[in-house]
Amino acid sequence: MAGDDIDPHAGEVVSRLRRDVIDPLKRRFVGRDEVVDLIALAVVSGEHLFLLGPPGTAKSAVIRGFAEAVQGRYFEYLLTRFSEPNELFGPIDLVRLREGAVATVTTGMLPEAEFAFLDELFNANSAILNNLLTVLNERVYRRGAEAHRLPLLSLFTASNHLAEDEALRALFDRFLIRCHVDNLKRDAMPRLLAAGWELERAGPSSAGVSAGDLRALSRRVFDVDLSAVSGPYAELVWKVRDLGVALSDRRAVKVLKLVAASALLSGRAGARPSDLWVLRYVWDREEQIDPLRSLVGAVLDRAADDDPDAPRHPLAEPPDRVDAEDLARQLDQAEAQLRAPDGRPLGLAAAARLRERLAELSDRAAWVGDDAARRHLMGRVSELTGRLT
């Protein structure tokens, strides 16, 4: 029955995963709770995660920390336009080649990894592209007559821009989960420095959950009862498409794995409407992020009212209700700060602070329930931000 607890063994794995891996990583990496939770979601669902954001935002460090915590085999590589397949998948075994056989030396390379991180994915050239598509789709690497079945749990990647080339768009499509990662807000800096210093001093942590445990938990995704969300999910898929998101039938089916994984990570054998939070992360373009957040936020708001005592995933917490009129007043105050008291343009430091404030107001405006009010407020934010440049 939907909502029943998962079996004791799986429940124990989930409990240890949260206690020994997820929660410690959140303490170590300030302001990266969302990324940590999405890494866990990707691994349990058996899907892949794309991170969009500038360098220096701890993207690879969080993924590496997760892999180390569960003692999983890890591979990391920075792609350039000149990267060759050998650099990812391993060189040809020259000894075997002299014997007339083509074989690959995969020791320490991507084919042996359980966690892989490829930085700057969209630098991939055609020589690598087809191999990566097979890895992402089938967990297989082929070279000539040989075929390697990969133990890969999830592949993670990052870039500071989105793909424009059609061939690379096909690669991007294989990353079901997309997350925008930005620099931390000003008020988080003291905690960042303290946690970062501890991170420099500390060695790799260990956990009571292994990569094998996660692989077994991933197999239980298909046992999750989805009956309670089938109707709401189908309706939401059409609304997501109405926003312009290219959510194909194939991807819509695969997103159900994310819904099921959210239920498992919440300790449930059945999915609930609160698990539909995962649809916030299916965007194709940056301008879709805020509308998606608002759309899914309304669903989560109703789910919280309908079933307030149900256990839910941390990322399924309904948003705080936003007062559109109060937000408009704060935008008026921000507009009044566009010029210094003596009428001169703002200095660089003051402009940076105001730009950060407008970004915060933009985040809040995305949660306004009324469509017209939300569009008006987001338009004001964009106009004021434009006047700062």
In the prediction, which pLDDT does 207 show? 65
Per-residue confidence band for 240, with pLDDT thresholds at 50, 70 and 90: very high
Q: Indicate if the pLDDT at residue 95 is higher than 70.
A: no
Percentage of the chain beyond pLDDT 70 is 86
Please write down the HEC assignment for all residues of 90-140.
Answer: CCECHHHHHCCCCCECCCCCHHHCCEEEEECHHHCCHHHHHHHHHHHHHCE
pLDDT digits (tens, 9 = 90+) for 206-237: 667 899 999 999 999 999 999 999 999 999 99
Per-residue confidence band for 1, with pLDDT thresholds at 50, 70 and 90: very low
Q: Are 271 and 259 in contact (CB under 8 A)?
A: yes
Q: When comparing pLDDT for 157 and 194, which is higher?
A: 157
Domains contained in the chain, CATH given? 8-201 (3.40.50.300), 226-263+270-316 (no CATH), 324-388 (no CATH)
In the prediction, which pLDDT does 241 show? 95
Strands 74-78 and 49-52: unpaired
pTM of the entire structure? Answer: 0.82
pLDDT digits (tens, 9 = 90+) for 159-178: 988 888 887 888 899 999 99
345: β partners: 339
Mean pLDDT of 291-297: 87
Alpha-carbon torsion, ordered 373, 375, 376, 381, to 10 deg: 120
Per-residue confidence band for 359, with pLDDT thresholds at 50, 70 and 90: confident
Q: Indicate if the pLDDT at residue 158 is higher than 50.
A: yes
For residue 180, what are its two tokens?
């925008």
Closest C-alpha to 213, from 11, 367, 382, 61: 11
Q: What is the mean pLDDT of the chain?
A: 86
Mean pLDDT of 15-29: 92
Q: Indicate if the pLDDT at residue 12 is higher than 80.
A: yes
Cα 276 to Cα 299: distance, rounded to the nearest angstrom: 8
Q: What's the sign of the alpha-carbon dihedral 253, 256, 38, 305?
A: positive
Mean pLDDT of 85-113: 82
Strands 140-143 and 146-149: antiparallel
Q: Indicate if the pLDDT at residue 3 is higher than 50.
A: no
